[in-house]
A = this chain, B = another copy of it.
Amino acid sequence: MRLSNLFVPTLRDDPADAEIASHRLLLRAGFVRRLTAGVYTFLPLALRVMRKVEAIVREEMEAAGSIEVRVPIVLPAEPWKVTGRWKAYGNEVFKLEDRHGREMMLGPTEEEVFAPLVASDLPSYRDLPINLFQVEWKYRDEKRPRYGLLRCREFLMKDAYSFDRDEAGMAESYRIMYEAYVRVFDRIGIDYVIVEADPGTIGGGINHEFMALADVGEDLFVRCVNGDYLADTEAATPQAPIPLEEVELEPMVEVDTPGAATIELVASQLGVDAARTLKNIMFDIDGSSVAVLVPGDREVSVKKLARLHFPEVVRAFDDGDFERLGYAKGYVGPHGFGDDVTIFADHSVKAGANWVTGANRPDTHVTGANLDRDFRVARWEDLVEVRDGDRCPNDGGELEVGRSIAVGHIYQLWTNYSAPLETTFQDEDGSDKPYMMGSYGIGITRILAALVEQHHDEQGMVWPKNMAPFQVAVIMANADDEPVRTEAERIYAELLERGVEAVLDDRDERAGVKFADADLIGYPVQVTVGKRGLGEGTVDLKLRATGERSKAPLDAATQAIVDLLAGAV
């Protein structure tokens, strides 16, 4: 392609609201444009990279026996009500009504469409296993869309669904997809880890997340320094602290703590460590009140709590809830709960005693609150957010938290969707059974952002050659010079003939602008054809990744470029 015939509107300056490199560079290099919050237009260079990602995904999915179809984006609400996700997603999905007042939504994932599709057309055990996939835009009405393509409201996904007779079949379908995903991400060349993950609101059992390592990633994972453990923070289950030796139980005594409605304030007023205070977080779970107890220096993992209650909707108390139920916000203590509150506690609460906690009156706490004597726990669970320094569940080694971008996620769904949807097949014995399902997602637009996060420097993007929008840029340094034009055109034509994905910068721009753009866009190999070089019978070559420059004789330029590209990453 010729840049003069493409639409690559590069920007000289960093866009104001782009906080991370991929967002900034995708805008600056003319890959994307924002239409509205979390909704982007994709320009030609972005399309080229996305198509390369798509091609790898399609090839590996097909090689793994998955069959491509295309299901709608606008979906009727009914099956989502049946599975409970219409309510569970709440306003995380875009909901709408058609002209006849029928409720519809924009698909965020499509279990509710694929299961009925398969059930109506593949009703026999002889039709199984089957695995269907599509590549299509998905929708999620994120509360705070941000970071460009990382947290979008409209994003391109490959989603696939497997259907099996039994657990062994599901596990085998899952294994095949797991291996296909490894091939996909290896071929794309992204730096990633695979972690055991939280199933979230999709429901189900075993699942793995494919996470591209990135300092700006919003998806946290933990790994043991000894290398024997890797998990999504939401799924990570650190070893509980060792229970206390016998300690002397103090009496429970009220103390004045004026204005100390947070853990930090009460710890500081009373001069105790936050870890010695007992945090009570109140939730409404489908109309019932639940208190979750964790040591004051830990955070409650709402996702872990939500998973325990899926598909019920977990919502933290708001001011209205505290008022209505008569609890003093900021001063709640578990000894004051009636039968209407169920108390959950994290395992680590077992390891403490003589807690400082709320007295259930404003500006007042108690000291010396103790389990069983002063308060009871209905259910012990792993409910804390894991953090650096927690202990590995395998060997007790230190855990560290890493940041990443989730680019793939695979799930064993069992019959969590097929059973409520009553999507069944007839088994060999004549009985109707719900399919054992798996579900498999890859975020195509997120991969685009993750690649830029992993491959950029101060000057711009640095594309690996298999993913670059173009592999070689031939730059006419002096577009008004006839010999320069002729030689650049010749080299460009020869590269195309050799099957190299080349772009010709034939724009009517200063050489400096073209060099800056080439660095910004990050073509792996840059070739400059200029007056001075031609005078010496040479062209200038540059490897974007290393900055290494060389010269090639004019008459052997094309071969030199091909060789340089062959050696590039």
Contacts and interface: CB of A to CB of B under 8 A. Distances in A.
Interface of A: 5-7, 9, 30, 33, 35-36, 39-44, 47, 65, 67-76, 91-92, 94-96, 98-99, 102, 104, 106, 113, 117, 120-122, 126, 130, 132, 137, 139, 141, 143, 153-154, 508
Contacts of A122: 7, 9
B9 A72 contact: no
B121 A33 contact: yes
Question: Which of A41, A47, A130 lies at the interface centre, i.e. has the most chain B CB atoms within 10 A of its CB?
Answer: A41
A130 B43 CA distance: 14
Nearest to A79: B35
Contacts of A153: 74, 98
Given A41-B113, A96-B96, A139-B74, A67 B35 contact: no
B35 A76 contact: yes
Contacts of A75: 35-36, 39
29 contacts: A5-B65, A6-B67, A7-B67, A7-B132, A9-B121, A33-B117, A33-B120, A35-B76, A36-B76, A39-B74, A39-B75, A40-B72, A41-B69, A41-B70, A41-B71, A41-B72, A42-B70, A42-B71, A43-B69, A44-B67, A44-B68, A44-B69, A47-B68, A73-B154, A74-B94, A74-B106, A74-B153, A94-B96, A137-B137
Nearest to A143: B99
A75 to B, nearest CB: 7
Given A33-B121, A141-B99, A39 B94 contact: no
Contact of A99 (B39, B70, B91): B91
Interface of A, helix, strand, loop or mixed by DSSP:
mixed
By Cβ-Cβ distance, the 6 closest A-B pairs, closest first, are A9-B121, A96-B96, A91-B99, A42-B70, A36-B76, A41-B71
A7 B18 CA distance: 44
Copies of chain A in the complex: 2
Nearest to A152: B72
Nearest to A106: B74
A47 B132 CA distance: 13
A130 B7 contact: yes
Nearest to A69: B43
A41 B35 CA distance: 28
A42 B44 CA distance: 26
Contacts of A117: 33, 41
A113 B42 CA distance: 12
Nearest to A91: B99
A470 to B, nearest CB: 14
A76 B41 CA distance: 13
Contacts of A69: 7, 41-44, 47
A153 B75 CA distance: 11
Contacts of A73: 73, 137, 154
B41 A154 contact: no
A128 to B, nearest CB: 12
A476 to B, nearest CB: 17
Nearest to A114: B41
Nearest to A67: B7
Contacts of A98: 94, 141, 153
Question: Which of A70, A92, A104, A106 lies at the interface centre, i.e. has the most chain B CB atoms within 10 A of its CB?
Answer: A70
Contacts of A120: 33
Nearest to A116: B35
A36 B77 CA distance: 10
Nearest to A98: B141
B132 A35 contact: no
A510 to B, nearest CB: 15
